[in-house]
Amino acid sequence: MLTGIIKWWIPFVLISHTLACGSGADEAQPDTSTQLPDTSNTVDLGTPEQDIPDNSDCSTIDVLLAKDLPSGDNPKLPVYEKLCDVVVTQVYHSGFFIQESADGRATEVYVGYPTSTGEGGWLNTGYPQPQRGQILDMVVTELTSYKGHEEITKIEPPVQKGTTDVSSFILDLSDGIVPSEELESRLVSVSNATVSKTDVKGGVRMDYGTAQGVLLFVENMPPVCLGATIQITEAVIIEHEGEHELKLFTGQEANISIDISTCVEPEELDDSNWDFEDWSTSNPPPGFINETEDFNATQSTSFAHGDTGSSCLLTWTSKENQDFVAGYYKPAGEGGDYTISMWVHDEDPNGRVRMGIIFYDPAKEKIETKYASKYSKDEPGWQYLTYTRTAPEGTAYVRTFVRMYDAADFTNAGYASVHIDDIGLEYTP
C-alpha cells in the first residue's frame, strides 16, 4: 500500500492533440515556461490602461458561440463581434481564457505555439500578452473549433480598461457539478475527488460529490493509483472529442495535489470466464477490463463458438484504437514461448480485430507489448486467431488483449462490431 502525500512537480510535454486548443500542429512542442504568467491573484499589468471606447455596439460571448461553424475537423468562421468588459481569467503558453462576469459565459483565445527559437505564438499577435485579471474590450474576427472545443483564433489588438481579482470567477464543482457545454472554458476547482479509473485517454476519471467519472487531463500525466484523493485549486473546462473534462496546462503543477495514502489495491482477476459464459456483470464481463472507453463489451447468444452458450459482442464507435483486456496476470518466465488465441466471428466490413500480448516484470510494470500480424477477416463463420511470442528478459507475468480497428466505411457507418469467444493463453515449451 502506498502512503504519503505527493505534490506534482513534473515536467510537462506539450502535446497538441490533447490540448484544449490546438488549431495548430499535432507534433510535440518545446516547453516555453519562461513565457508563463504568474498564476496568483495579484494582477501585474504589462500594458498601461488605454482610452475607454464606446460600448454601444457590444456583443456577448453567448452570441459569438451561438454561431454555426462550417463542417470539418477544424472549421474556421470569419466573424466581426465586439466583446466588452471581458475578464482574463487564465493565461497559458498558447493563449488565454476570458469570461464576461463571475457567473457569465467563457471562451478561449488561442494564439498558437511558440517555436523552439521563441518565435510564433505571442510574438505573432501584434499586441502584448494579456495578464490575469485584466478587463478588456476586443474585436473577434475568427472563430473555430478544435476537437469540439470552441475558441477564438483571431482578434484585433485588445483595449485594456481596468483590472479585477479573478478569485470570484473560480467555480467550485465539489458538490457534484459536472463539466458541460455551458461551463466550457470556465475556471473551476474541486476538493476531495477520488480517482475511480486510471489511465483513461491520458488522464484519470474522478468521483466527487454526486458527480461520477469526470475526466481530468494533465499533460503527460504520470500513473495515478486507484482511490487516490485529488485536490484542484484551479483548472479549466474544455471539450475534447465530445466530452467535457478538466484540464491543467503546463506550468500549473501547483494547482493540483494528490494524496496516495487513500489508494486501494485493484481487484485480482482470473481466467475462469474466458469462455464468456458468466455475465453477472457486463461491459466489461467478469475477468475483463475495458482499457479504453469508446466501445461496449456485451453478451450475445446469437453467436457462440460451439453453437451453444454465449459470446462477447464488441461494438466500437471511435476510429481510435480500442483495447479489451483479459485482466488475469498469468505467471510467466523469461525465455518461454506464450501462445494467445481466440475465436472471432466477423461479418462487419467496417471493423477488424487482432490480439496482443503484454509482458510484465515482478512489480507488474510493462516490459513489452507485441501484436499479432493476423487480423480478423470479414467473412461468415468462426475464424481462429493465434499468436506466439517469446517472453523477454525479466518477465514474471503475461496478459492478453483484443485491439479493435476501424476499416472500410467506418466513418459513414459510425460503428463496427465483431463477436469473440474462447480466449486462450498457454505456455508452449
Angle at Cα 289 formed by Cα 219 and Cα 11, nearest 5°? 15
Q: Quote the pLDDT of residue 72.
A: 82
Instruction: Decide: 150 and 65 in contact? Cβ < 8 Å.
Output: yes
Taking residues 310-326, report their average pLDDT: 96
Per-residue confidence band for 152, with pLDDT thresholds at 50, 70 and 90: very high
Per-residue confidence band for 35, with pLDDT thresholds at 50, 70 and 90: very low
Q: Quote the pLDDT of residue 259.
A: 93
* Ranges of each domain in the chain: 1-266, 288-428
Q: Quote the pLDDT of residue 119.
A: 60
Weakest mean pLDDT among 22-31, 145-154, 310-319, 351-360: 22-31
List, as one string, the DSSP characters of 195-234: EEEEEETTEEEEEETTEEEEEEEETTPPP--TT-EEEEEE
For the cut 80, the answer to whether the pLDDT of residue 194 exceeds it is: yes
Taking residues 16-42, report their average pLDDT: 39
**Sheet hosting strand 295-300, strand order edge to edge:** 295-300, 311-316, 416-428, 337-345, 382-390
Instruction: Decide: 128 and 46 in contact? Cβ < 8 Å.
Output: yes
Q: Quote the pLDDT of residue 118.
A: 59
pLDDT > 90: what percent of the chain?
70
Express each pLDDT in 369-415 by its tens digit: 999 999 999 999 999 999 999 999 999 999 999 999 999 889 888 99
Express each pLDDT in 76-124 by its tens digit: 999 999 999 999 999 998 999 999 999 999 999 999 876 666 566 677 7
Q: Quote the pLDDT of residue 173.
A: 98
Express each pLDDT in 217-234 by its tens digit: 997 677 789 999 999 999
Nearest in space to 90 (alpha carbons), one of 186, 158, 181: 186
For the cut 80, the answer to whether the pLDDT of residue 2 exceeds it is: no
Taking residues 308-328, report their average pLDDT: 95
Instruction: Decide: 147 and 35 in contact? Cβ < 8 Å.
Output: no
Q: Which helix (H) or strand (E) holds 296?
A: strand 295-300
Alpha carbons 355 and 424: distance in angstroms, whole number = 11
Alpha carbons 91 and 108: distance in angstroms, whole number = 10
Alpha carbons 400 and 325: distance in angstroms, whole number = 6
Alpha carbons 205 and 215: distance in angstroms, whole number = 4
For the cut 80, the answer to whether the pLDDT of residue 162 exceeds it is: yes
Q: Quote the pLDDT of residue 54.
A: 56
For the cut 50, the answer to whether the pLDDT of residue 46 exceeds it is: no
Q: Quote the pLDDT of residue 124.
A: 75
CATH number of 288-428, picked from 3.30.379.10, 1.10.3720.10, 2.60.120.200, 3.90.1150.10:
2.60.120.200
Alpha carbons 257 and 1: distance in angstroms, whole number = 19
- Here the cell at position 357 is 500480448
Contacts of 255 (CB under 8 A, 6+ apart): 39, 232, 233, 234, 235, 248
Q: Quote the pLDDT of residue 428.
A: 78
Peptide bond preceding 284 in cis form (omega within 30 of 0): yes
Q: Quote the pLDDT of residue 145.
A: 94
Put simply, whether the predicted model's pTM sits higher than 0.75 gets the answer no
Taking residues 42-49, report their average pLDDT: 44
Taking residues 351-367, report their average pLDDT: 95
